[in-house]
Structure 1
């Protein structure tokens, strides 16, 4: 039995014993056993309401014994609770506590991307439960960031199990900014393999920096592979060759902050329609069709006359 429950049982048994004794010693002043137990708890906890007071010599001796014995037990019980609470909070901040929840999102890596993602989730009040796995942090105050921190290497089964990987809904694996690109990709792929090995159903989003490793990340079990370098390179290119620089970084990020990507299965009646015809349909629903996924390949902005095929998945952008 845990210490806290043993102490609680000891306190209860002690107060019950003194309550029964004082009831039989002074039945007039303590007409029921409950009155005696009430007096024992009030006296032993040093609250001292004074509504029940022993008057006889024997009763006062019982009260002295209660103060000496029961008071120490209650004080020790309260001190143990306080110390246990402080210890638990310290262990949470150190990342040594196993997460017990389910349907949560696991972030691998503490960096600017995960920090920004946390802020976005917080701003939209999604109420998602977040678990962070990181091996570089020694301490992360949970009161400040409102997440469950697990310290360790996400390639190890023990660490993933501490994050309750078997009950997770999503896993977001970010690249380690402290490593070279190839090493960071190898680490991300290894983490993907370990994650998929511990949960065959969880949706894995893996960040890859080099083009050569995209296929390996997919083979490792990633459902979605994000090449952040491609995105940033495209922004740099447009900024360099724009006649009137207007900070496309800021504009694009502001636009995307109020939009959300969705994957939609192609409707039966739209099979054979052109991309333009399908795009017009979603514009009427205040959504923008930006691409399709065909046979596992993402095609952004295909030709307008491209006819949609069975099993195509549409990528649309809509307001949050």
Structure 2
């Protein structure tokens, strides 16, 4: 049995930032994560738009810095802890993992959301080495390059247009026969000479030496397969928020994200949510850190008030 003031679920940017603020306020703070600290960011090869990092920093280095700060202020990080059950009601919240029973006065949920991965066998091998899920984060790496964007929704259309600032050419791979985005965005994309669209098409294979160099495309309409050279692939086929544990107790949006107010508070007193798990418009490292800051401060105020 482990008792603490604040229990944070998730050790990504939002969770570690919340831990920095909570533990700096002299609260007994524990961070629990089902894997190693860092979240998606730790597997990002280069980050060039995080303030104060002197241009480019490796994701794993940025997250090591955040982890060290949290530990230096007194946070405890329990990684590799798979959660079995939760009880968020009452003054004392309860989280059960495979090895511990945690009791906390306040809970901060920062379990994040993950982009749906490109469904090819070599996706993990080339993730961050040619396969990307954030043009804002990684687009500048592809100046004067030929890239592919996978998807047919709003994100695919808008990120394709964003990539025209850097890439020489963009090929959009859409498994459907239409885009599901605003008419104005679609019109802008279709008129752009840098962008070409392949309809009814899927990527079946990705290959290359260290980095992505080729893909195998499959046309669903005629069954044709062909190889295509490319320098990089940006994937926008949806997001999957990690909210399965909380669907029966917290207010969840139609897309599966936790609904909070501006104080990061959920519908249960003492339970806060921060980062990509939260229902909001923009999901970046900097916005996750902002959410974590607010959640850490508000958890301290909640405990002090109680």
Given the two structures, how large is their TM-score scaled by the length of structure 2?
0.25
| Greater RCO, CA 8 A, separation 6+ | 2
Where is the helix percentage greater, Structure 1 or Structure 2?
1
Which one has the largest radius of gyration?
A: 1
Given the two structures, how large is their TM-score scaled by the length of structure 1?
0.24
Where is the strand percentage greater, Structure 1 or Structure 2?
2
